[in-house]
Amino acid sequence: MDIVVLAGGLSSERDVSFKSGTMVAKALRNRGHRALVLDVFMGYKDAECDITDIFENSEANSVKVADIPTEAPDIEAIKASRPDQSPSFFGPNVIKICQKADVVFMALHGGEGESGKVQAAFDLFGIKYTGNDYVSSAIAMDKQMTKNVIEKAGVPVPYGVTLKKENRKKFKFDKYPCIVKPNCGGSSIGVTIVNTPDELDGALDAAFKWENEVVIEQFIKGREFSDGVIEGKALPIIEIAPKQGFYDYKNKYAAGSAVETCPAEISTKATTKMQKFAETAFKALGLTTYARIDFMMDEHENIYCLEANTLPGMTPTSLLPQEAAVVGMNFEDLCEHLIKVSLMKYA
């Protein structure tokens, strides 16, 4: 197949997305596909260039990326560096190239790529893509809305509230410790654990840097887990234990900064319950293809669902691929399988 692996964009997870896209494309090429990594924002050359044979040398025509930096990207600098200076989210030739592909593998993370907007545009253009539809993607992107939906379905969540930037001066919160994070962010960018009221202002500053709406929620002291779900069926659970601090951007992408154990070493009862919660959340959010559901568990084995990731990280060492490997599905198998299950929505 001719496959566009769509990456980049303008989210705080831009660099992570490139890493996922590069690894996915390599895996798909190893399986005989012609996979092209395309930056959704920068596009391909200029609007006048010939893209007739772009898949003939897909690797050479792919965007080149370096390792994931330890700091989040400077989005304004990226906008300023676009040659055509267009404000359009889709760079030159992106839609045309995606229309030529048999399918677009969505390696975008966060921002417009995971919010349902790209998915909605592709539906209008008749472009087939991996992952969930635009409605469920939009719901899952909103952390507080996700919690509201899955709590009604019987999945426990931490207490939390949302705050818009314009209402900041009036805001008071009395449950400490708490955690502050952008409502639609990812990769723990802009996330701060707040132990006392004096620390709240700084945490709000960090979160509002990325979005105009943030979530302030009860901090659950305990162990962190994640569970991938494919076609409604939960994979083995993985535990993430940072060697220092919490599982923030640096700990997620710096080599050796966290210990990840799959299957997680927890009781059979806790395993069964968490997998059930993952499957219930997946269904309640209207997800149909694949996602990764994140959890915390306290010392009494009380489980709390934090969020759903509809386009989870996709390198061989990312959480979802590690879980798939435990059930005998290597990275190349997984990439092809995600395409297969995603194309079923067009059958």
Q: What is the pLDDT of residues 242-299, one digit of tens each?
A: 876 654 445 444 556 789 999 999 999 999 999 999 999 999 999 999 999 999 999 9
Q: What residues form the annotated binding site? A: 294, 307, 309
Q: 12, 115, 136, 318: which is the annotated catalytic residue?
A: 318
| Annotated domain spans of the chain | 2-129, 140-156+221-346, 160-218
Look up the CATH architecture of domain 140-156+221-346: 2-Layer Sandwich (3.30)
Active site residue 81: no
For residue 37, what are its two tokens? 């990594």
Q: Does domain 160-218 have CATH number 2.40.30.10?
A: no
Active site residue 12: no
For residue 115, what are its two tokens? 């919010």
Q: 11, 58, 136, 187: which is the annotated catalytic residue?
A: 187
Q: 13, 114, 211, 323: which is the annotated catalytic residue?
A: 13
Asked if residue 344 has pLDDT above 70, the reply is: yes
Residue 91's pLDDT is 95
Asked if residue 241 has pLDDT above 60, the reply is: yes
Active site residue 187: yes
Q: Which residues of 100-130 are buried (b: 16+ CB within 10 A; e: fewer)?
A: bbebbbbbbbbbbbbbbbbbebbeeeebbbb
The whole-angstrom separation of Cα 265 and Cα 223 is 11
Using one digit for the tens of pLDDT, what is the confidence trace for 321-339? 999 999 999 999 999 999 9
Q: Give the number of residues written for the chain.
A: 347
Write down the CATH number for the domain with range 2-129: 3.40.50.20
Domains 2-129 and 160-218 share a fold: no
Q: What residues form the annotated binding site for Mg(2+)? A: 294, 307, 309
Asked if residue 342 has pLDDT above 50, the reply is: yes
pTM of the model: 0.90
